[in-house]
Amino acid sequence: MTATIADLAAGYRDGSRSPVEATEECLAAIAALDGRVGAWQAVYADEALASAKAAEMAVTATRDSGAPLGPFWGVPFALKDIVDVEGRVTTAGSAEWVDRVSPATAVVAQRLLDAGGVLVGKTKTVEFAMGGWGTNQHMGTPWNPWDADVLRTPGGSSSGSGAAVAAGMVPCAVGTDTGGSVRLPAALCGIVGLKTTEGLLPIDGIVPLSHTLDTPGPLVRTVLDAALMFDAMLGTQAGEVERDWLAGTGRYGALRAAFEGGLAERRIGCLSDAERAGVEAPQLVAYDAALEVLAGLGAEVVPFDPPTSFEEMKNTRFVIVTAESYYYYGSMMEDPASKVDERVRARVLPGASISASEYIAAMVQRRIDLAEFAAAFEGFDAMVTPTTPMLPLPVDEADETNTPALFTRAANFLALCSTTVPTGVSPPGPVGAGGGLPTSIQFMCRGGDETLSLSLAAAYEAARGPMPNPPLWAGGE
């Protein structure tokens, strides 16, 4: 499956592609690759083909009449298996929930279906989305498509969504991000991910980890696709009629104009020397090269030190997430007979010892930090950091007591939006030595500034040029 959302929309419009063909390509790619990658929890082949045929009928009718369909119409997509679909099992990555049938469809999933999307199936996740490496003891860890020889961390918790899109098994997938769970798999799997603003997209029907910080968002292969899928996730607003991306009018006109705005006169914050200290050499080299590209595009790139360090924000966020996750899953994790991932059990159980006073103190401290950050960030358009301090690690080398989310958690804690985009791949090396692995940066912007974050990432992406495909790729060489 090599087509992007934008490619499919254009192909449907001119008749060179069809939703049935696109869905059949996805299913063929899954059949050929997923035995190796293991990204999928469930595949709805028959239902997907039926939906694709209905979408194709609508495409044909509108092509004949000239009436536009939105760009997500007929596009195959996947849902992280914490997103409910009525009548379907949602395991949330837990062996304890293998028979849990969803009572209703999540709002964001319904919006994608209403936009004409074709649901292909559910992708694997870290249990209850509680982990950044992407591992799962009982339900399986997806194979990062960038190394055909070594099982490397795919990033979590939206591990299956990242691996499925990176391997070309589906054009796009929904993930959720509480501390980086969209951006980490996007970064480690070499694709694009958008962390949306807290409260902008509804979390109704999404299995919670932290109701304060949970946000859904798209994982895709291009920044343009992130914008198109995000738009579909926002849903149709009252009174809207025009939804023709290719015409560049109506709702999409402003977005397209923003994408063409470039980086001239944008002021971008980069890491200070103190924050650079924890970044591994290959990632830092790629980061510095990306900053040079941004400066070459006209951006003013200057060091920015948040009033609260990334490490301190990570720790305050820990109190909020751990307390809230214990509220939801504490009884299961306290039961020694429960068949849960022991690494997740170890992350949730400390919530039992967090007092109401400590939890409230963390929430109050967050409000203080939000105000202090807003004041310090005055005059900046974005902050750009490496998405992760390291490249994808072999799974057996990942420290499950630590996290790759040093830089991503800040966006959740500070209620920002953020777009992760690949910067390239690390230099080749001996087999198993870590060469040829994806590197990435993220564009963090104020809450509600998704269009700005996406447009900045798109300008960088265009200057960077095309990314290579990973070794485990459905489209071949």
Burial code (b: 16+ CB inside 10 Å, e: under 16) for 178-213 equals: bbbbbbbbbbbbbbbbbbbbbebbebebbbbbbebb
pLDDT at 69: 82
- DSSP class of 341: -
d(CA 5, CA 71): 7
- DSSP class of 376: H
Q: Which of the following is catalytic: 18, 51, 94, 157?
A: 157
d(CA 387, CA 406): 8
C-beta neighbour count of 239 within 10 angstroms = 5
Render pLDDT for 377-425 as a digit per residue (tens, 0 to 9). Answer: 999 999 999 999 999 999 999 999 999 999 999 999 999 999 999 999 9
Q: How far is CA 473 from CA 24, 285, 423, in A?
A: 16, 26, 19
Give residue 357's identity as a one-letter amino acid code: S
Q: Which of the following is catalytic: 51, 158, 181, 426?
A: 181
Please give the average per-residue pLDDT across 11-17, as a whole number. Answer: 93
Render pLDDT for 436-477 as a digit per residue (tens, 0 to 9). Answer: 999 999 999 999 999 999 999 999 999 999 999 999 998 764
Q: Which of the following is catalytic: 51, 80, 158, 418?
A: 80
Whether 339 is catalytic: no
Answer for the pair 447, 417: CB distance below 8 angstroms, yes or no: yes
pLDDT at 303: 97
pLDDT at 434: 63
Please give the average per-residue pLDDT across 120-131, as a whole number. Answer: 98
As a whole-number percent, the residues of the chain with pLDDT over 90 amount to: 86
Please give the average per-residue pLDDT across 285-305, as a whole number. Answer: 97
Whether 80 is catalytic: yes
pLDDT at 255: 74
288: buried, middle or exposed (CB in 10 Å: 19+, 13-18, 0-12)?
middle
Render pLDDT for 133-171 as a digit per residue (tens, 0 to 9). Answer: 999 999 999 999 999 999 999 999 999 999 999 999 999
pLDDT at 242 over 50: no
Residue 14's contacts (CB-CB under 8 Å, 6 or more residues apart) are none
Residue 203's contacts (CB-CB under 8 Å, 6 or more residues apart) are 176, 211, 214, 215, 216
pLDDT at 235 over 50: yes
The domains located in the chain, with CATH, are 125-312+356-464 (3.90.1300.10)
pLDDT at 67 over 80: no
pLDDT at 243: 53
Greatest Cα-to-Cα distance within the chain, rounded to the nearest angstrom: 64
Q: Which pairs count as long-range contacts for 54-59, CB under 8 Å and 24+ apart, including other chains?
A: 55/19, 55/116, 55/118, 56/18, 56/19, 56/20, 58/116, 59/12, 59/18, 59/19
Specify the 3-state DSSP secondary structure of 234: helix
Burial code (b: 16+ CB inside 10 Å, e: under 16) for 113-122 equals: bebbbbbbbb
CA dihedral 200, 269, 132, 38 (to 10 degrees): 80
Is this model's pTM higher than 0.85 or not?
A: yes
Residue 309's contacts (CB-CB under 8 Å, 6 or more residues apart) are 274, 275
Residue 416's contacts (CB-CB under 8 Å, 6 or more residues apart) are 195, 197, 410, 444, 445, 446, 447
Give residue 457's identity as a one-letter amino acid code: A
